[in-house]
Amino acid sequence: MNWLKETAAKVDFSGAAYVEGVHEQGFFQSGYRNKQEKLLFDEHTRFGIASGAKIFTAVAIAKLVEQGKLTFSKRLRDCLAMEFPNFHSDITIHHLLTHTSGMPDYFEEEEMDDFEALWEQLPMYRVRSGSDFLSLFQEKPMKFLPGDRFYYNNAAFIVLGLVVEELSGDSFAAFVQKHIFDSAGMTDAGYFSFDKLPGNTAIGYIKEEDGYRSNIYALPVKGGADGGVYVSVIDMARFWDALFQHKLLAAEITEKLLHPHMEVDKESAYGYGIWMKKSANKIKKYYVIGFDPGVSFHSAYYPEAGQKVVVSSNHDSGPYYIVQDIEKHWG
């Protein structure tokens, strides 16, 4: 896959790309997982994937539905004992999964443009679980009525993680490990703390005028239901296989997860924790994306060819252009 070198150099790509399927199979890397030590990436290097992890939260919820502990139409107030005084009583699990709940977010892009400034209110080193986020949104007012429109919402997935914990009796990370990572053979994946990262993990870097700094003070110390898990590119390919081969969920539940519940625009739709690109009334690809300071991620599954693409970076950007180049290469 050396034909990606030109694009990688042009966009200052630092990370790894993995392609598996009929059109192409291979691995590409550019840059370093540790710039100071000049350590390279490999197929098992762990990357933070930011909101790319929302698909795991959606699968965890779907697993509870499959187990008979939950329904997608169940109201939030009937799932959690904790109080959300200003939340509408009709918010359902479906609304939370499709970003249509109308509930407030912990980071409002309309009001803030610096994600790092969020941790002036709540030190990032104290954020290790979903409940640690509650003070940032629990008592805020609704933005709109449930089901009224699509509005991307990270806090909704924090709440979904709390539902998983309430109904399963496990921590969110333990539930995902057991029912997704272990079942899919994702041996590199995990919700790791910044202060306890395992070996072969990419350090996230934020570009500044005089070079790069790590993102250790820019994100919560541990990821959760809204994002922040670590996976390798090979892990993500294994996830796609497990999902579409019904190793994680029964076919009927998988179909609900992958249904285009919300039409975002003429070409894009959103299911449960997953994006879709449409063409001629067919789903051309399913994909997940993630962006954080020092993190960018794009992975897709192309149903007609059974092709998988995973591009992970420890810079703020780059994967979109690499995926674009791969799709052009396929013609």
Instruction: Please tell me the predicted confidence (pLDDT) of residue 115.
Output: 62
Instruction: Please tell me the predicted confidence (pLDDT) of residue 112.
Output: 54
Instruction: Please tell me the predicted confidence (pLDDT) of residue 113.
Output: 58
Q: Is the pLDDT of residue 144 over 90?
A: yes
Find the mean pLDDT for residues 248-262: 98
Banded model confidence at residue 130, pLDDT cuts 50, 70, 90 = confident
Average pLDDT, whole number, for the chain?
Answer: 93
Q: Is the pLDDT of residue 166 over 60?
A: yes
- Report the C-alpha gap between 58 and 157 in whole angstroms: 9
Nearest to 65 by CA among 219, 249, 323: 249
Half-sphere CA count of 300, side-chain side, radius 13 A = 20
Give all strands of the β-sheet with 295-302 in edge-to-edge order. Answer: 26-30, 15-20, 307-313, 295-302, 282-292, 275-279, 268-270, 262-263
Nearest to 219 by CA among 107, 78, 93: 107
Q: Which amino acid is at 9?
A: A
Banded model confidence at residue 199, pLDDT cuts 50, 70, 90 = very high
What are the beta bridge partners of residue 20? Answer: 308
Find the mean pLDDT for residues 279-306: 95
Q: Is the pLDDT of residue 119 over 80?
A: no
Sort 327 into a burial class: Cβ within 10 Å, 0-12 / 13-18 / 19+: middle
Find the mean pLDDT for residues 9-28: 92
A 10 A CB-CB count for 123 gives 11
Domains and CATH numbers, the chain: 2-330 (3.40.710.10)
Residues 6+ apart with CB under 8 A from 150: 98, 99, 100, 262, 264, 270
Find the mean pLDDT for residues 110-134: 71
Find the mean pLDDT for residues 212-230: 92
User: Percentage of the chain with pLDDT > 70?
Assistant: 95
In 10-132, the DSSP E strands lie at: 15-20, 26-30, 47-48
Would you give the end-to-end CA distance of the chain in angstroms? Answer: 15
**276, 288 contact by CB (below 8 A):** no
Tokens describing residue 35: 């710039």
pTM across the whole model: 0.95
Instruction: Please tell me the predicted confidence (pLDDT) of residue 139.
Output: 93
Report helix, strand or coil for 295: strand
Banded model confidence at residue 107, pLDDT cuts 50, 70, 90 = confident
For residue 27, the Cα-to-chain-centroid distance in whole angstroms is 22
Tokens describing residue 22: 């009929």
